[in-house]
Homo-oligomer: A and B are copies of this chain.
Amino acid sequence: MPTEFSITRRVQFAETDMAGIVHFANYFRMMEEVEHAFFRSIGLSVSMQHDGMHIGWPRVSAACEYFGPIRFEDDVQLNLRVTKVGEKSFNYEVEFLWEGRRVALGKMTSVCCEMLETGMRSIPIPPGIRKKLENGKDS
């Protein structure tokens, strides 16, 4: 069974634009918010020490399809579903629901990296982290 995780998130005024709806770029911030809440729920952080390394998760791709607008003070349900835990990368989808309707669908791919003073270096996802991502729980 795929790992799933949800939060509900109220749209803030500063997230709207002059068209009266949430600016399309802000959906990517919401995707990141549910991702980070998911990480916390399984005892991880996207910026953490692990086995003496500083681990980070830079994105290699991000995409979103928009089916209908969302507006100020709307309560949006964000359903994250882990779609793949690869050797070094991690894929998930975020379904945006408003009043029961799917208003957007986002997809993200991040790669596990050791963050060094001199830059970042992709590494195989450490087994302890992989297990949590796959199981969707802090175990």
- Contact between chains at B36 and A13 (CB < 8 Å): yes
Number of copies: 4
Task: State the CA gap A58–B73 with chains docked (Å).
Answer: 18
Minimum distance in angstroms from A7 CB to a CB of chain B: 11
**Is A28 an interface residue, CB under 8 A from the partner?**
yes
The one of B40, B59, B62, B66 in contact with A59, judged by C-beta atoms closer than 8 angstroms, is B66
A18 at the interface (CB under 8 A from B): yes
Q: Which of chain B's residues have a CB closer than 8 A to the CB of A72?
A: 18, 47
Looking at chain A's contact residues, the main secondary structure is mixed
Interface size class of A (residues with CB under 8 A): 35 or more
Q: Is the CB of A115 within 8 A of B19?
A: yes
A42 within 8 A of partner (CB): no
**Does A16 sit within 8 A of B, measured CB to CB?**
yes
Distance (whole angstroms) from the CB of A122 to the closest CB of chain B: 12
For A104-120 the 0/1 string (1 means CB < 8 A from B) is 00000000000100001
